[in-house]
Structure 1
Amino acid sequence: MLSLMERASLWGSGLGAVVSATALGREPLTATLCMTFFGGCCAFLIYESRRRATDETISAVGGFLRERRLARHDIDGYQQLVEIAAPLRGRAGVWALTELSHDPRLMDGLFFHARRREIAGLPEPGTEPLSWALASLHPNGYVREAAVAAMGRAPRFEFVPFLVERAVERVDAVRSAALAALRQIPAGASAESFARVAARRHAGDLAELWAIPGHEDS
């Protein structure tokens, strides 16, 4: 959000750029320099406004996670978390994805309630990594499959917990897509990730992928 002074500066810079454009025929060099200057001022002010808005969003989400300290059975808390995270885009979305994926306690609770279909408002896959991750928890198998496919096309380490969850699910197509996506990501946290789902059906395929000995599907 721009302050009153910054709004006035943005309006003035925009007006300066327009006035400069009208002088292109008479003084092309001067007019071009003025347009560049005023246009640059506009771009900077807009960028600064968006940067501050993103920082405020990150601060708000971080504050929620620190203050709420979600317990596994806090359904309302996880519902609120999804409602806060789902609309995030750009830098804020990447930050939220990183925070979630690096917190096993949060992941466990989120997956638990998603499996029980207790969380409403899970998004469909959009164009953002965070939306793909959250969409992979959707109750509709076709949505989950599309989300996993999107993660497979642009693999990143933060997707691992979400892909592991899908690699042991009941729908064959989703499970196969998740295993294929995991093959593209170094298994740096394979032991920890596998431990969470080791007792689940189809965990054997994941154990085979990561060469974890002594495991068979239950």
Structure 2
Amino acid sequence: MANDFKFPPVVFPSGGNPSPGSQRRPATAPFQSPRSSNPGIPFLSFDVGAAATSFPPPQFSSSGSIPGGFEDEPPLLEELGINTKQIWNKTMSILNPFRVKPDLHEDSDLSGPFLFLMAFGLFQLLAGKLHFGIILGWVTVSALFLYVVFNMLAGRNGNLDLYRCLSLIGYCMLPIVILSALSLFVPQGGGVILGVTGVFVIWSTRVCTRLLVELASCGDEHRGLIAYACFLIYVLFSLLVVF
């Protein structure tokens, strides 16, 4: 028994004559959204002209570099807080024990002392002595010793902090560094090296005492005791050179 299926007639819009009441919808470009929906977003409307004005090209200077680039960045040493000019001026002031400039050491830093301590350890290494750890440990203990002694002498009026102690002791190590360099050319175990060592120890003691008295309050009243503490510190470091 056969089944009869009735299908509705298929009408193709492009074929035949359209009916009088129908209207053909105008074709639009693909991916084209109406301008009235998002008039301020050029990405959705794919308006190249509007996008070019929204994102202008980078402006180049006369030298061909982009403003705000690497040329405008500060030097790396300055970002790390290492002032090479200040270190050089402080070093030159230490080299003249009779004309020490305490105002240059008002801003304490550890960059210069670290360089001097590493140079001291390097000269000791050239002499066959590995003293890097001993030098760093003794500097820390010496700063604590000088900090405690000075503040006990000054009492409540003392304003010397541990950071400044480390800075001053490190910068005044420069004569001992020179001594360690000269010891490479002077015979060991004789009276010559002992005499030279005494001169450089007195040099470091005088400079460190002058800086402590000038930069810290109530230091002038106890100049002799401060000088004795500084003398013990630099004698301790000179023993590494002599023996």
Q: Where on the TM-score scale, by shorter chain, does this alignment land: which range?
A: under 0.3
TM-score of the two chains, using structure 2 as the length reference:
0.25
Structure (1 or 2) with the greater helix fraction: 1
TM-score of the two chains, using structure 1 as the length reference:
0.27
Larger Rg: 2
| Higher RCO, 1 vs 2 (CA within 8 Å, ≥6 residues apart) | 2
